[in-house]
Structure 1
């Protein structure tokens, strides 16, 4: 029997998942990692890699796997450290196939480079937005969309692929706009996507469709300004809302003339759909 041991590649952050790389793993390693609660597992040449929650000590993993060659290193979080993946993987939501660059995919797929910007598609709020976005575009055929808190640009770019002529993405983070611009070029959509630094006050005009996938507090704070960006009978998609805070968001938008009537939930998150009363 091999002795158990753990080698640290670098100092680990506190209270976050971590990565382990296992050389020459035992035959039952995959099952053991699943039992330990691994968040993601990938087979590598000669071994395995996995992401483990911080509640599982690396020493316990080494003991369970009976391996003398386990390397522990920080895991890379995505979507503001709410999604933990070894690498981004293809996914489908709202009829859109989202794939990393270099992956074979059919025409019409949305390619997203790995970046620190929010919007990989793996977070429930983004997936919900993609699904609702696809439904509205199929029903209303809006000519343009305003994406508030665009992040990686995933929602604005998906709207363009789904048939919207032009999209505007706004964000208060310059790095997010850089990521969105890079993704627009990657998908040959740069001419149809306008990117602006700032919040709803940074743009003028009105849109038939506005989508905002941000946190609850900013959604409530920007409600008066956000509804000014809605055109006649414009549709509004709000996400990034914990189900426990749904009532507060509904009230804030009802106060400024938008009644949120439709909603979908997933994993403790909710997306609200509203329409301008004017």
Structure 2
């Protein structure tokens, strides 16, 4: 009997060592650990790539050359800084020299109303919605900066690009929004989409923009996460363009054509591609 029990005990030990279930558990744990490590590695690599793409995207915007130096006599650069418990405002903006032409008052009044009216800006900040990849957590001291670039076309027109850098609480990085102004220096009036392009051409122009954007997306690189411009988005941004030499450049807020961490803020359209939609009018600066 003792011999029999001893044999049973020995076979039990052998069976435990060869238990396939225990081997599977160990193997699964090892596989899961490898998957987690691989996932962390991919995640870190993705974040690193996104940061590089964001830095490149931002640098391309900030380093764009403009005509400030050429327009030194025409421009009067202004700025203001306000630090509050909830936010910091750091704005730079242009005035036009009214000594050259008193009618430039039209431009300066618009700037005062839309960019220097601090109370309305404060209200906007407190009520505004967060952009696509910002977090809706309680606000701390948030930074808003506004700067500008300006372009001159044939001494008849200036195009002003205002780029607004918004540092939202909880966001991984700053988000950008844009506003463009085109001002006729001869008549001292602002010009809109319909002053340059024929009525009802929004869809045709959107197709031109999307064809150029598609080329960038197909090229991969930093454009891999971008997408086509919707009709609603283009209609809302159709006046957001500047004219520089023989190129019209449309600007779009973060998350309209690309996420904030990659891609581009703008699409350039060569003038020859716009000929079918241009308004044939002597007052159209694009016609020379």
Give TM-score scaled by structure 1 length: 0.25
Give TM-score scaled by structure 2 length: 0.24
Between the two structures, name the one with larger relative contact order (CA 8 Å, sep ≥ 6).
Answer: 2
Pick the structure with greater CA Rg: 2
Relative to its length, the structure with more helix (as a share) is: 2
